[in-house]
Amino acid sequence: MDTDIFESLNDQQKLAVNCSLGNKLVLAGAGSGKTRVLTCRVAKLIYDYDIKPSNILALTFTNKASNEMKQRLQAILKISTQGLWFGTFHGICRRILKIHWKEAGIKDFFSILDSQDQLRIIKRIVKSRKLDDNFYDPKQLQSFINSQKDRGLRYDKCNNDDKLYIDIYKEYDEICRQTNSVDFADLILLTYEMFMNNSEILKYYSSRFKNIMVDEFQDTNTLQFNLLKLLNKENCSLYVVGDDDQSIYGWRGARSENIKYFNKQFKDVEIFRLEQNYRSTTNILDVANNLIAKNKDRMGKNLWTNTNQGNPVYFYEAYNDDDECSFIVDKIEQFVESGMKRSDIAILYRSNFLSRRFEEELNSRSVPYKIFGGFRFFERAEIKDVLAYLRVAVNTSDDSSFERTINNPPRGIGEKSISVLREVAKKHKISLWESIHNENTLSLMSSRCVSSLNNYKQIIGSLTSLLSELKLKEIIEKIIDISGLTKYYDTKKNEESLSKIENLEELVSTAERFTHNNLDSENLIQDFLDNASLEAGEYQSKLDSDPLQLMTIHSAKGLEFPVVFLTGLDEGIFPNPNRDIIPGFLEEERRLCYVAITRAMETLFLTCSNMRYMHGSSSDFIPSRFIGEIPNELIEPIKTEFKKKFGNDNYTESNHYDEFSQEEIYDDISQDNVIPFIRVGQRVNHLKFGHGVILSYTGKKDDLKVQVDFEKYGKKWLVLSYTQLEFIN
């Protein structure tokens, strides 16, 4: 056995590894070496406690984590890991059910349904019941069924205001039994039910697995927690590792309180804290610690490191989102020129729609990038849907776009009817659009289907007639509205649908920016569509082996990067206001920010924007409350680079107003620029910033900017044409 690895452990890690048997909770902070501790603990059990590998159960949340532990353990012990019971909750439960299928009440050789398989069954049920899938959305029903199973509830034990939800759950379960299929949630629920109903099998496994290890314990749901309670019998040792400060999956069923109540639910719990961080510099950790300290009811932990202070944590308050993106990409290019790999740099954001402006900037500079764990903006399904409507409006012979839009969102035009249209089009050598104008074709359809086709014709006809009348932005808005896509997503009220709505809103802003950047275009709509196609394909094919990393913070969990740009730290964006209906949402959003900060190893930039182009128009923003929660001495503001980048010689960043005299500013303003109702000392009111006083102004007409000293938020520069200011007499 390789004993050197034990000697390399720090004091906190040694205590957690060398402890006695029994129930243990290891609070492992970000970058504190939890995988090393888990691996060494297993080696300790085998080497010092003479426990057989087959008597140890190690549960993880990803196969990657499980395989990494196996590989490390194999390197330490120099033995095969074949007999180890290491795997995810679902993987281990599948293994048990393959042995005890009869006792679990299922048949041998059962099939496991993936998410898409599950969704197809639910869609068939909705269709067979002739339900409107706008009201009984299959994905929403899928989420309901899975959430009930995650709580350990079958259809006869759950409650819902709409009885049809329960009926569909029942029918879905019956189909699964008839087809000898189980879904992912069932793997755990069936195992739990079998243990509850068969004391002998439960006794066997609780006796066999007297040592159970659990990674990422803060991500366990109700059913997983209860399963562990069942297995944790007398003389059993449950060793769990987690971090309550990194619990960020409440929206998908994880219960952060599981780790908080661990010592109350299990006997004689000993708690260890891993606080020494091996990832980040002192400056980064100080910012993270001070932010997360604002959360109440924490288990208590303070990260520290033996490394030097490192670079300051930089804060850039951009004038607008163009300024923000330009600043970040400039910095990235400087890092690359100095020899750093692009793949060592990550841009993190709270919501997917924020990637769009960065994609534009990176594409314009031919900087290779990768959207980690997601799609590029123009590759996202909801964006393709809107563009397909636009393509049909421009060219009704576009059969591919026709098929994408004809029943999207669902409007009662099934595959059978579409097949009829295809046959007619093929027979008469006409487009699918032309086929729906054929009376003989319509005679083959149901009256409901004909009504839906007529509605679709009206939508496309209306859009076609407006192409020459409306601006590109307005056309996109019209498509989103009359297609019913926003309404369709809005009814779902889940994380995915909210993200789709944000992306649709960002598409409007994208269209407006494209218009401003292509004023000389002879066919703006076609150029916009062509650009979308090129961005979706061309740059992906050019992606080299060293792309810049773009990702949501959720996707970044478990990763680390030498340089991190945490962007979009604007109030109203992060924390995400769409989640404020969820209990404890602000604490979880703060934990999410903490996770983002602790991804940075050497250098961290925090950025926000005073003005952001959203929903097709400019909106004013203030820095996120999370910025305000970090002590000033821990972050180093960067003076705005707007002046030199965008050629505005008069613009000065509000935080540095004192560097310029008011007289100097006025020297740059000619009498021709003065607007009669604006005067220094004029009291104003702003919707977000509240009351303030005008200090100065500069520019002319649409570019006129005013500097206002707000009572609560200090000095801000605002573009008057984009800002709704109330002038108080």
The residue assigned the tokens 């027979």 is 427
384 is catalytic: no
580 is catalytic: no
- DSSP tag of 281: -
Residue 194 CB coordination number (10 Å): 22
Contact call for residues 329 and 368 (beta carbons, < 8 A): no
Q: Determine the Cα–Cα distance for residues 477 and 701; give it in Å rounded to an integer.
A: 27
Q: 258: which strand partners?
A: none
Q: Determine the Cα–Cα distance for residues 313 and 292; give it in Å rounded to an integer.
A: 16
**Burial (CB count within 10 angstroms: exposed 0-12, middle 13-18, buried 19+), residue 633:** exposed
Give the dihedral of Cα atoms 414, 416, 419, 421; nearest 10 deg.
-70
For residue 389, give the nearest of 333, 460, 324, 439 by alpha carbon: 460
Instruction: Give the CA count within 13 Å in the CB-facing half-sphere of 615.
Output: 8
What are the CA-CA distances from residue 726 to residues 612, 694, 706, 714, 723 (Å)? 20, 12, 13, 17, 10
Q: Which two tokens stand for residue 94?
A: 């599948």
For residue 146, give the nearest of 251, 64, 241, 44 by alpha carbon: 251
35 is catalytic: yes
Segments in 467-611 forming alpha helices (H): 472-483, 485-490, 495-517, 524-542, 553-556, 585-597
Q: Which of 150, 183, 186, 215 is catalytic?
A: 215
Q: Determine the Cα–Cα distance for residues 467 and 515; give it in Å rounded to an integer.
A: 14
707 is catalytic: no
Q: Are strands 690-698 and 683-686 parallel, antiparallel or unpaired?
A: antiparallel
Q: Determine the Cα–Cα distance for residues 376 and 369; give it in Å rounded to an integer.
A: 10
For residue 65, give the nearest of 260, 219, 197, 205 by alpha carbon: 219
- Given CA atoms 359, 362, 366, 370 in this order, what sign does their dihedral have? negative
415 is catalytic: no
Q: Which of 14, 35, 260, 629 is catalytic?
A: 35
Q: What are phi and psi of 83, to 5 degrees?
A: -85, 0
Q: Determine the Cα–Cα distance for residues 362 and 366; give it in Å rounded to an integer.
A: 6
Q: Verify cis geometry, omega within 30 degrees of 0, for the bond prior to 409.
A: yes
Q: Which of 24, 34, 70, 411 is catalytic?
A: 34
Q: Which of 599, 612, 715, 716 is catalytic?
A: 599
246 is catalytic: yes
The alpha-carbon radius of gyration of the chain (Å, integer) is 29
DSSP string computed for 383-429: HHHHHHHHHHHH-TT-HHHHHHHTTSS--S--HHHHHHHHHHHHHHT
Q: Which of 137, 150, 186, 216 is catalytic?
A: 216
Q: Determine the Cα–Cα distance for residues 412 and 106; give it in Å rounded to an integer.
A: 36
The angle at the Cα of 180, spanning 176 to 183, to the nearest 5 degrees, equals 50
Name, in order, each residue with C-beta under 8 angstroms of 465's C-beta and a sequence gap of 6 or more: none
Q: Which two tokens stand for residue 687?
A: 């919707």
Q: Determine the Cα–Cα distance for residues 274 and 31; give it in Å rounded to an integer.
A: 9
Q: Dump strand ranges (E) for 181-278.
A: 181-183, 211-214, 237-242, 270-274
For residue 622, give the nearest of 613, 635, 609 by alpha carbon: 609
- Enumerate the active-site residues: 34-35, 215-216, 246, 599
